[in-house]
A and B are shown apart, each in its own frame.
Chain A
Amino acid sequence: MIFRLALASLGARAVTVAMTVLAIALSTALFLGVEKVRTGAKESFAGTIAGTDLIVGARTGAVQLLLYSVFRIGNPTNNITWESFQDIAARDDVAWAVPITLGDSHRQFRVMGTTPEFFERYRFRRDGRITLEEGTLNEDLFDAVIGADVARTLDYGVDTPLIIAHGIGSFSEHDNLPFRVSGVLARTGTPVDRTIIISLRGWEAIHVDWRNGAPIPGQSTPADRLRKMALPSAEITAALVGMESRLRIFQAQRDINTYREEPLLAILPGVALTELWGIVGLAERALLAVAGMVVVTALIGMMATLFASLAARRREMAIYRAMGAGPRTILLMLMLEAVVMALAGAALGLALLYAGLFALRPALDAAFGLWLPVGLPGAREWAMLGGVVLAGAIVSALPAVRAYRISLADGMQVRS
């Protein structure tokens, strides 16, 4: 009954209480939301590349190699020779090796040359495979497959012609050899969405008439003749490597890193991703801390309203005291009130979070390739919600102690 009366007392102050609960709810939703986005982003990030045991490139930093080979950020410092790639691919413990070559672009998107095996081997989010939304994979030498972001941003579809620019942000274009979009890939939430993929031979074809980064004056091989040429690759940018056995990864990595013919670097994508996240993760932790501060602010707001309510409730406290309630009961009732408000706020915040998740999930996925799983709250979420309620109880201790003092001094009388 005391509990019911405490609720009724809250009900009598409905407007103030509702505002307080709403503030706690919004801050809790923000707190949980940041955590959700944080873990979602981390998982999305960690799942950018899967199934690949080693990434091999020219000798550089591990994070840099990961950035340009997987995230298409920055530029490769150097290429590796086709012979080195062949040596690696021919190792007994290597199951498969997919060459990729980078450096050209179309509008703001990177162009990547690779073999058809790339579509089979590249995995994201554990076992996600690249699938076609429409069209076909590269069949002709001048076919290009585009990622979902490329298609949407440039409004390209199957059969759209596209001219590849030499280098990134340069003015020289391979305009004598236009490509055609043969297929659009389904969204993956990885940098593949922002990539234009052509065949390795196609890559070589547009560079036949180029030397040292510039077109050879007066030389222009027609497309039909190029289609009949062998077009071997001399250099590639990096290679994705799968091992026969995971146990061999470190041995292969060591061998590649000490390769005599050429300075190479082999990295474990998972390790490099973790290393990269360690850099990016600082911001994300700062964001969570800020969201936590917002919760604390809302709870301090609750404390303020509790303090403000005390003066108006001395009569109520005097009645309880006259009925035989001890000052400790008054203290507990105040804290109970705060816990009820914090609980209501936390519950409403959780509801807001899920409503927001359902509403914003498709938009987040479309805009950032960030897919947030909607599941029952995990141990971490419960701990955070519990933390909000506990913090509410702790914060309410101050006004509760004040109420204790007032009720002890007032007794059954109300002195004003």
Chain B
Amino acid sequence: MESALRVSGVRHSWPGGFTLDVPHLSLEAGESVLLLGRSGSGKSTLLSLICGTLTPAAGEVRVAGTDLTGLRPAARDRLRADRIGVIFQQFNLLPFGTVRDNITLPLRFSAQRRARSAPDEAEALCRGLDLPAGVLDMQAAHLSVGQQQRVAVARALIGAPGLVVADEPTSALDEGSQTAFLDLMFAQLARTRAALLMVSHDARLGARFDRTLRLEELTRPATLPA
């Protein structure tokens, strides 16, 4: 089975001369990886490169075997819609939509995920993520932060994408809620066998993951302008 994600020789330069250089990073199907990095170390940029909203200056980004860098922008958007679930740090949801609108939003942009999704998948995900019954028809803005993050997990997982990318999804939660959140997220990931790449600055979370990587180890020393 091909890797969920394979990044090789990727280089990205910011204006001003800072460079992100990732020689190798790969995730197998169903694998969970915690990527640790200080803030400002380029974590979010790496996620944008993986999701194809940013194109690297050099290198390859293969999602489920397809090299994003060789695709036209529209095809990259489609690949992201089909294959990747995204969870942000916070403000994940469209506040004016219902929870159901938010969870099923990826299906709107991906025929593949629509086809893979059972009619009651949103309900099942809500149950699995311990969200109260009837939450689907509530307006997203009325949910607590913890509930919103769990709705974001449901949205990332609906239609079973092979890769879930999460950008510090627990940073807005207190410690007790973090554990419960991770428990529920891992349970649902196991169900769909999606690979998880989660970035965080919190090394204590490492025990829950198959592997922990440090962005500093992964990257070549940044070439700072003289």
Contacts and interface: CB of A to CB of B under 8 A. Distances in A.
Nearest to B79: A324
Interface in A301-325: 315-316, 318-325
A220 interface: no
A318 B48 CA distance: 11
B73, B78, B86, B155 pick with most chain A CB within 10 angstroms: B86
A263 B104 CA distance: 88
B109 interface: yes
B168 to A, nearest CB: 13
B23 interface: no
B110 interface: yes
A412 B53 contact: yes
A9 B94 contact: yes
Contacts of B48: 411-413
Given A319-B92, A411-B48, A412-B47, A5 B106 contact: no
B112 to A, nearest CB: 10
Contacts of A319: 88, 92-94, 105
B182 interface: no
A8 B81 contact: no
B96 interface: yes
Contacts of A325: 77, 81, 109
A324 B73 CA distance: 11
A324 B51 CA distance: 9
Contacts of A326: 73-74, 77
Contacts of A11: 96
B94 A322 contact: no
Interface in A295-349: 315-316, 318-329
B78 A12 contact: no
A3 to B, nearest CB: 11
Interface string B84-117: 0010100111111100010011101110000000
Nearest to B83: A324
A2 B108 contact: yes
B93 A324 contact: no
A5 B97 contact: yes
A154 interface: no
A321 B106 CA distance: 10
Nearest to A315: B91
B113 to A, nearest CB: 9
B53 A9 contact: no
Contacts of A246: none
A1 B97 CA distance: 10
Contact of A411 (B51, B91, B95, B109): B51
Interface string A81-114: 0000000000000000000000000000000000
Contacts of B53: 321-322, 411-413
A260 interface: no
A380 interface: no
Contacts of A12: 95-96
Given A411-B48, A412-B53, A324 B109 contact: yes
Contact of B88 (A5, A320, A322, A411): A322
B80, B106, B110 pick with most chain A CB within 10 angstroms: B80
A225 interface: no
B213 interface: no
Contacts of B81: 323-325
A4 interface: yes
25 contacts: A1-B105, A2-B108, A5-B94, A5-B97, A8-B96, A8-B97, A11-B96, A12-B95, A12-B96, A315-B91, A316-B94, A322-B51, A322-B53, A322-B80, A322-B88, A323-B81, A323-B155, A324-B81, A324-B106, A324-B110, A326-B74, A329-B109, A411-B54, A412-B86, A413-B53
Closest 5 interchain pairs by CB? A324-B81, A411-B53, A12-B96, A324-B109, A322-B86
Interface of B: 44, 47-48, 51, 53-54, 73-74, 77-78, 80-82, 86, 88, 91-97, 101, 104-106, 108-110, 155
Given A9-B94, A325-B81, 5 more contacts: A5-B101, A11-B96, A320-B105, A323-B106, A326-B74
